[in-house]
Amino acid sequence: MRKNKKKETAILPQKQGISTYLPLPVLWLLTIVWGFVIFKNYYPAFRPSLDNIGSMFSPDQYVEIFNLSNLVVLNHLLNIILAAFFFFSCFSLGRLITQYFRPVWHSGFEEMVFCAGIGMCGVSLLIFLLGVFSALYKSTVLFSLVIVAALGFWDIKKHRIAGTPCPEKLPSLFFLAKYLLLFALIAGLFAALGPEIFYDSLVYHLAAPNYYKIMHGIKEMPYVLYSNLPLAHGMLFTAGLFLRNEVVAKLINYCACVLVCVSMVSFSLKYFGSMIQGILASLIFYATTHVMLSSGACGTETILTLFAFLSFYALVNYLEDGKLFFLYISGVLSGFAMAVKYTGIFVAVGVVIAYLVSKKKVTLKNILLWGIIASIPVMPWLIKNYIYKNNPVYPFMSSVFKPDNMTDPAKVKGFISETKQYSFSGFWEWAKHPWLITMGRIPNSENFSPLFLFIIPFVLLIKAPRNVIRLGIVYCFVVWLTWSLTTTMIRFIMPALPVAALLIAYFIFGFSDKNYKNLLSIIAIFFSAVNIYWGCWMFYVQGGWKVAAGSEKKEEFLSNTHPSYPYGYFAGIDYINKNLPAGAGVLFAGESRSFYLERMPVVSSVFDLTPLVEISALSGNADEIYKNLRRMGITHIFLNLGEAVRLHRSYRMFYFDEKSASKFRDFWDKYVVEVFHRDETRSGTFLNRVVVYKILEEKEASMPHDSPENFILRYVVQSALGK
């Protein structure tokens, strides 16, 4: 154990000016011309609307949050306290693990972010192990977190947290940057306090953890391809669900993004000798609209970005300080980046190549050691996939590994194509993609920050850059290159953005010419404000703020259609949760979103076989369909009619042939009765219906009863034929 020594505040490194390959007058000219070109093309397309700003900040729509009788504020405080408890447990676990290596932390910020990051890795592994041994219960999860938190509290009393250097005085311009960042973070927090409506979360980021919670262990979801992707982040969300609900899980994701910002400030303090640069870099990073949106919902990118940046940070520490401890945790964090998402391999490759390019302390032994350490966190997920799908990297490399009988190769191919999103027709089109993405001309890239396209080219002009800057450039280049050659999904580039933002801030502050520095600072703050506007507007349009503000009930909001939340399905789920016995099993028809269900779901994604069709095809008659469903534990069927039509038109989910359709029709007429339905209307016009059906027992089915209309065959299947 380490001794209880007083922690000395580290001395900040001396800040150094930079020079470029171009004389300052030429740099001024290029900056003005290039900035004008970007502004002329970007701003007219993404100009903020004063009317929208007025709508967002109209105070009367938020007054209910101050009504103490509806308990909105107390509910939010409880969720925030539980999320804070979770992160204190993570920090405590990380501190207990790292203290045996006796690291010397530069600042309290550095100790906090690394211990929290390592602790998150540890908690993720702990929840995974509980799941493997079918021990996922509220009592086991809470007991584990409480014990770790108690040990951490005891350890902090014995060993103080490292001191933090006093920040330099903020110029008036950067007070604006500081408070703009604070405003953006508050907006993201408000989004995180609302109910989850992000489609991917409802299908698997939260749906898979919720399934594990229901089943008390990590069990196969045979018809959900997404559940076979790495889910290290899902283990953290599982803990959040056990602590209380999806809002705690969302706050875990949100706090991971806050930790990225704190990590950037810590990095800037240590290597640039400036807190201001870290604040500006954090603003540039978080104000990127896609980052704001990712922080307000449960996904992969935020936690992946935290692990990625900390891995890079640890590598720089190793190369600068020579402590092997940092090489070890760089490998661990890159490994967990891959355990969050397959695209974490971009991070690992970027870190390794940056290490090789540094030419410092590079040995074959260290490279192999780093690789072995990095492979350990992702290995459990690869083994799980091999056990369930005969393919460790499922659904990729299907031509190498023989697909199992639950996999449709054509649908898997469709998944991979949709993940890539956009294919370049040639080198020139690929070379233009930074421009196309910035200007919103590639799907899902709208509102991306123009600051990266504007300033990063100038960063490359720095003459004889410091080792830290060279490492950052190499890391960003490798992550960008591997990303651009595989996909154009803009969220997937997030792991490079913190380092890129730090490079931009370093470039801005590196000049002795005050006017040039102020010009770039004003541009950075202006475009950050524009992007924050778009992030806030998207939060506002989605409508989750109404629940967070107490102006609409969660149940009502989730039962209706909203932007990015098509054909609200919660009314049927709510009926099931409140009225069906705990042992009920629910077959989803025309709906891939199983989150919020508290009973066992049998659900399929659009890239999987549809169980209702498969069972109908494999069964000899209606009675066999009934027996096969009962064998699977299915007692009820849930149909979301509008969503079923939408998905069938796009993905052909109900691929009945004439024979299987006939058997399914007979089964429906004999064994199915309706027990609940809710219609959604808009301005008096019918929009959608959600229905819960009961599958009768054989004795009940033999008695006279009214068979419900078969919407699946009559409307859903016919909709794809234009009927």
CA distance 278 to 164: 14
Residue from 46, 56, 54, 49 nearest 543 by CA:
56
Residue 422 pLDDT class (50, 70, 90 cuts): low
What's the confidence (pLDDT) of residue 420? Answer: 80
Q: In what order do the strands lie in the sheet with 672-682?
A: 600-602, 585-589, 636-640, 685-695, 672-682
Tokens for 292? 């704001």
Q: Would you say residue 166 has pLDDT above 80?
A: no
What's the confidence (pLDDT) of residue 350? Answer: 98
Q: Would you say residue 723 has pLDDT above 60?
A: no
Quick one: average pLDDT of 164-168? 66
What's the confidence (pLDDT) of residue 556? Answer: 97
The neighbour count for residue 21, using CB atoms within 10 Å, is: 11
Percent of the chain with pLDDT over 70: 96
Residue from 359, 279, 349 nearest 308 by CA:
349
Residue from 191, 69, 64 nearest 549 by CA:
64
Which tens digits make up the pLDDT trace of 183-197? 999 999 999 999 999
Residue 362 pLDDT class (50, 70, 90 cuts): confident
What's the confidence (pLDDT) of residue 386? Answer: 95
What's the confidence (pLDDT) of residue 721? Answer: 53
Q: In this structure, are residues 256 and 484 in contact, taking their beta carbons and an 8 Å threshold?
A: no
Which tens digits make up the pLDDT trace of 290-333? 999 999 999 999 999 999 999 999 999 999 988 999 999 999 99
Q: How many CA atoms lie within 13 A of 21 on its CB side?
A: 9
Weakest-pLDDT range from 91-95, 242-246, 465-469, 625-629: 465-469
What's the confidence (pLDDT) of residue 6? Answer: 42
Residue from 395, 343, 389, 90 nearest 235 by CA:
90
CA distances from 103 to 107, 166, 260, 402, 678 (A): 11, 21, 21, 47, 59
Q: In this structure, are residues 569 and 640 in contact, taking their beta carbons and an 8 Å threshold?
A: yes
pTM: 0.95
First-residue to last-residue Cα distance in the chain? 74
CA distance 48 to 54: 11
Residue from 372, 375, 409 nearest 389 by CA:
409
CA distance 511 to 515: 9
Provide the residue ranges of all domains of the chain, joining segments of one domain with +: 24-166+179-542, 566-719
Residue 97 pLDDT class (50, 70, 90 cuts): very high
Residue 16 pLDDT class (50, 70, 90 cuts): low
Q: In this structure, are residues 656 and 611 in contact, taking their beta carbons and an 8 Å threshold?
A: no
Which residues are CB-neighbours of 267 under 8 A, at least 6 positions away?
278, 313, 316, 502
What's the confidence (pLDDT) of residue 426? Answer: 80
* 3-class secondary structure, 109: helix
Q: What is the mean pLDDT of the chain?
A: 93
Q: Would you say residue 654 has pLDDT above 60?
A: yes
Which class for 81: exposed (0-12), middle (13-18), buried (19 or more C-beta within 10 A)? Answer: middle
CA distance 65 to 62: 6
* Pairing mode, strands 600-602 and 585-589: parallel
Tokens for 376? 């350990």
CA distance 647 to 641: 10
Q: Would you say residue 14 has pLDDT above 70?
A: no
CA distances from 398 to 223, 402, 438, 484, 486 (A): 17, 6, 34, 22, 17
Alpha-carbon dihedral of residues 298, 299, 305, 306, nearest 10 degrees? 30
What's 342's DSSP letter? T
Quick one: average pLDDT of 472-490? 93
Q: Would you say residue 617 has pLDDT above 90?
A: yes
What's the confidence (pLDDT) of residue 167? Answer: 65
Which tens digits make up the pLDDT trace of 531-560? 999 999 999 999 999 999 999 999 999 999
Cα angle: 162, vertex 164, 168; to 5 degrees: 170
Q: In this structure, are residues 280 and 234 in contact, taking their beta carbons and an 8 Å threshold?
A: no
What's the confidence (pLDDT) of residue 283? Answer: 98
Q: Would you say residue 1 has pLDDT above 50?
A: no
What's the confidence (pLDDT) of residue 698? Answer: 92
Task: Name the phi and psi angles at 674, rounded to 5.
Answer: -85, 135
* Pairing mode, strands 600-602 and 636-640: unpaired
Residue 168 pLDDT class (50, 70, 90 cuts): low
Beta-bridge mates of residue 637: 587, 693
